[in-house]
Chains A and B, each alone.
Chain A
């Protein structure tokens, strides 16, 4: 079976095309573009990506409106069945608002929008998404966000760390995130949310290819062919 994936587009998404190109480039197969108002996902998905942007103009809270859109009910249901789900930037915010991941993403501690390449340390190299990296490997991935300041209470943070659910950590201060957390996994390990944009680092022409291995990991972890 060829790799079958979906990239969700909300009004205000702006990284959906980049995400679709990255998934197609690295994983091949068929990338379905799914609109937020759709009530169901295509059949037989191997992977779902919730891309970055400013869904619903960041009304109420970043990701809050998108998390309540019809298609997210289907994404939550698919995640529950074990379908791998990646949320990047606004997608991470949406996944936390939808309750698929713990914590919340608040305004950057420095108030300013941060748009630059950042060093990320791979904390967990055992997950579906991070298996092609080495533990403690430092990779370079760009961030571009205003609300990337990860917050969860101390008890939740301890649990995330204890269970190896911190996938990536910023190797330098970026946005005030608790314990420099840049990406977290759900309990089952099939949902990853991260503020940095791996889809913007898949080939040399983009300035680097450190994000490529994340998509390679997803492909390698599934019994499908590119």
Chain B
């Protein structure tokens, strides 16, 4: 089973990298970019019988830092 885990910063957490990317986009002449938030995408290939609880646990224990990040699990059709 293929699973995508999207990790993003929580609202209210300042994102210095996103801000720098935003500035770089403006520097390249792209107008109208209002905000940029940088995140992470993990693509996991897990056993088909992996439970939702186990996936949740993986995110909470390692893939995301729950102090500053949220995660979203997306199951991808094979």
Query: Are A and B interaction partners?
Result: yes
Binding site for B on A (CB under 8 A): 60-61, 64, 68, 96-97, 102-104, 106-111, 149, 151-153, 176
* Smallest Cβ-Cβ distance to A110: which chain B residue: B16
CA of A110 to CA of B17 in the docked complex: distance in angstroms?
Answer: 9
Q: Using Cβ atoms and an 8 Å threshold, which residues of chain B touch A176? A: 14, 16
Interface hit among B27-35, B45-53, B62-70: B62-70
Q: Which of A68, A103, A109 contacts B67 (CB 8 A)?
A: A103
- B62/A106 in contact, CB under 8 A: no
Size class of the B contact interface (CB-based, 8 Å): 10 to 19
Query: How close is B69's CB to chain A, nearest CB, in angstroms?
Result: 9
Q: Which of B14, B17, B62 contacts A60 (CB 8 A)?
A: B62
- A104/B68 in contact, CB under 8 A: yes
* Smallest Cβ-Cβ distance to B12: which chain A residue: A153
Most A Cβ at <10 Å: residue of B13, B16, B62: B16
Q: Using Cβ atoms and an 8 Å threshold, which residues of chain B touch A102? A: 67
Q: Using Cβ atoms and an 8 Å threshold, which residues of chain B touch A151? A: 13-14, 67-68
- B16/A64 in contact, CB under 8 A: no
Query: Within 8 Å of chain A (Cβ to Cβ): is B20?
Result: yes
* Smallest Cβ-Cβ distance to A67: which chain B residue: B62
Q: List 13 A-B contacts (CB under 8 A).
A: A64-B65, A96-B67, A102-B67, A104-B65, A104-B67, A104-B68, A106-B13, A106-B14, A106-B68, A111-B20, A151-B14, A151-B68, A153-B12
Within 8 A of A (CB), among B1-38: 12-14, 16-17, 20
CA of A103 to CA of B65 in the docked complex: distance in angstroms?
Answer: 10
Known: A97-B65, A109-B14. 6 other contacts (CB 8 A): A64-B62, A104-B65, A109-B16, A151-B14, A153-B12, A176-B14
Q: Is the interface of A mostly helix, strand, loop or mixed?
A: loop
Say yes or no: A107-B17 contact (C-beta < 8 A), given A60-B62, A64-B62, A68-B62: yes
Query: How close is B59's CB to chain A, nearest CB, in angstroms?
Result: 12
CA of A179 to CA of B41 in the docked complex: distance in angstroms?
Answer: 31
Most B Cβ at <10 Å: residue of A107, A111, A152: A107
8 nearest A-B residue pairs (beta carbon):
A104-B67, A107-B16, A104-B68, A111-B20, A109-B16, A111-B16, A104-B65, A107-B17
* Smallest Cβ-Cβ distance to A178: which chain B residue: B14
Q: Which of B14, B16, B67 contacts A152 (CB 8 A)?
A: B67
Q: Using Cβ atoms and an 8 Å threshold, which residues of chain A touch B16? A: 106-111, 149, 176
CA of A68 to CA of B12 in the docked complex: distance in angstroms?
Answer: 27
Q: Using Cβ atoms and an 8 Å threshold, which residues of chain A touch B67? A: 96, 102-104, 151-152
